Amino acid sequence: MSKANDPLTTILQILHLVKEDDEKLQRILTFLQEEFYEEEEEELLPEQYNKVVQEIAGNIDAGLVCYLNLDTLEIKECIREMLDDPEMYAEDYGLTPEEVESKHDQWEHCVEFEPLQSFESFKIMEQFVDNVKNVKLKYQLERALNNRRPFAHFKNLIDSSDYRQDWFDFKQKWLESYVNNLLLVELKK
């Protein structure tokens, strides 16, 4: 089949011709969705995990490592440094080194949730910026993300905007989805 008769090429040419006509694009989209596209059913986490998902998302957002006992839904959280050097931190928290190291080590079905790495947090900010409707703020946030110290500049812009709560809601929802997906994977094992 020659490139000129290739169905994909023809479809792309048609799309290019109507790219400025929102009505025609919407008709094409509707047709494609009705005829060819079947959305996968979202896998739902068993209801009893909903509360722990919110708590774990909040903890990893705060930079804590979280452990979840899948049998009892008990959560243990701590800072990474405490796990790396339990003797040093035990005294600060009025615990024995064994207490710092361990309750979760005794759990038969335990899942560990780590705080996000910088690139993951950056991805959340980028996705949020993509959804900002205010053109001026969107431009400022994009510039902040593309310059030095993106986290600090992003925070300063968001904190002084009307989108502050939108940011917190977006980030919490993203983190809950992230935890939800990790939990689904673990439950399938």
- pLDDT per residue as tens digits for the range 28-73: 888 887 888 766 556 788 888 888 999 999 999 999 889 999 989 9
Report the mean per-residue pLDDT for the chain: 84
Q: How far apart are CA 140 and CA 181, in angstroms?
A: 32
**Which residue would you say has higher pLDDT here, 186 or 100?**
186
pLDDT at 188: 83
pTM score: 0.69
pLDDT at 88: 63
**Dihedral of CA 88/93/98/101: which sign?**
negative
Summarize the confidence of residues 100-126 as an average pLDDT: 84
Residue 183 and residue 53 in contact, taking contact as beta carbons nearer than 8 Å: yes
Enumerate residues 6+ apart whose C-beta is below 8 A from 42.
none
- Looking at the predicted structure, is the pLDDT value of residue 96 above 70? no
